[in-house]
């Protein structure tokens, strides 16, 4: 009996240790290192990077398609892991989330419900999927609504990730001159 209790306790300690070390674990090539919003905020304080938030819902077919195509494209995943902290956020998440001094909660209504953080990130317009780009101080840089093919996502990610936005280069100028290495 003592052996099994000790084994369970040891297993519990190992699982707890892994829970706190997985975000820093080596990434699998071609896979995005998704973290929670609170983890992304903490990481951005330590090493400033922009944050992308993929706002989705389990029932959303275009969200699933973007997961399987765009976010699983090895070049997109590698670039996101290099330049951003990536957050996957369920617009219907039921638990409260505290960001800074503000707590965001799930709001239910006759049609189902939505999390207040999703409403805030998407400025009240729930259009799924949507990708929100934040700077390391959590200022919203843009909302990219709808499904995006890898080459289009590549363009948007590089505009912010390579600093064109920070240099006040207008989107139209960047877009006209951008050539993706992904192909279509």
Evaluate whether residue 16 is within a structural domain.
no
Q: For residue 160, tell me if it sits in a domain.
A: yes
pLDDT in tens, 20-33: 334 444 456 679 99
CA distances to 63, 92, 129, 143, 163 from 107, rounded to whole Å, are 21, 9, 19, 22, 36
Least confident of 10-19, 87-96, 149-158, 174-183: 10-19
pLDDT tops 70 at residue 18: no
The β-bridge partners of 55 are 89, 130
Overall number of domains in the chain: 1
Full-model pTM: 0.81
Residue 14 in domain: no
The verdict on residue 126 lying in a domain is yes
Q: How far, in Å, CA of 2 to CA of 153, rounded?
A: 55
**137: in domain:** yes
DSSP three-state, residue 48: coil
Domain presence at residue 112: yes
The pLDDT value recorded for residue 183 is 57
Write out pLDDT tens, residues 114-164.
999 999 999 999 999 999 999 999 999 999 999 999 999 999 999 999 999
Which residues constitute the domain of residue 147? 25-177
In a domain, 182, yes or no: no
Average pLDDT score over the chain:
86
Please answer whether residues 51 and 87 qualify as being in contact, where contact means their C-beta atoms are separated by less than 8 angstroms: yes
What residues contact 94, with CB distance under 8 A and at least 6 apart?
A: 106, 115
Q: Is residue 148 part of a domain?
A: yes
Confidence of residue 167 (pLDDT cuts 50, 70, 90): very high
Helix, strand, coil percentages for the chain (3-state, nearest 5): 40, 20, 35
Lookup result for tokens 């009240």: 124
Phi and psi at 5, nearest 5°, equal -65, -45
**pLDDT (tens digit per residue) in 63-108:** 999 999 999 999 999 999 999 999 999 999 999 999 989 999 999 9
CATH of the domain at 118: 3.40.30.10
**Dist. CA 170–CA 165, nearest whole Å:** 7
Residue whose C-alpha is closest to residue 130's, from 108, 100, 153: 153
pLDDT on residue 23: 44
Element (H, E) at 21: helix 2-21
Residue 123: both structure tokens together: 């400025």
- The pLDDT tens digits of the residues spanning 36-53 come to 999 999 999 999 999 999
């Amino acid at each position: 009996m003592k052996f099994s209790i000790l084994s369970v306790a040891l297993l519990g300690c190992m699982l707890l240790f892994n829970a706190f070390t997985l975000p820093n674990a080596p990434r699998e090539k071609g896979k995005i290192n998704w973290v929670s919003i609170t983890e992304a905020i903490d990481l951005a304080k330590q090493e400033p990077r922009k944050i992308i938030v993929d706002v989705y819902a389990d029932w959303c077919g275009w969200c699933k398609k973007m997961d399987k195509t765009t976010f699983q494209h090895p070049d997109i995943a590698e670039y996101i892991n290099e330049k951003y902290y990536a957050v996957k956020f369920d617009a219907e998440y039921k638990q409260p989330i505290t960001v800074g001094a503000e707590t965001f909660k799930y709001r239910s209504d006759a049609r189902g419900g939505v999390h207040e953080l999703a409403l805030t990130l998407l400025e009240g317009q729930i259009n799924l999927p949507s990708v929100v780009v934040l700077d390391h101080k959590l200022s919203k840089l843009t909302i990219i609504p709808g499904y995006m093919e890898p080459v289009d996502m590549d363009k948007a990610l590089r505009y912010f990730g390579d600093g064109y936005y920070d240099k006040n280069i207008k989107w139209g100028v960047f877009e006209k001159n951008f050539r993706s290495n992904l192909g279509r």
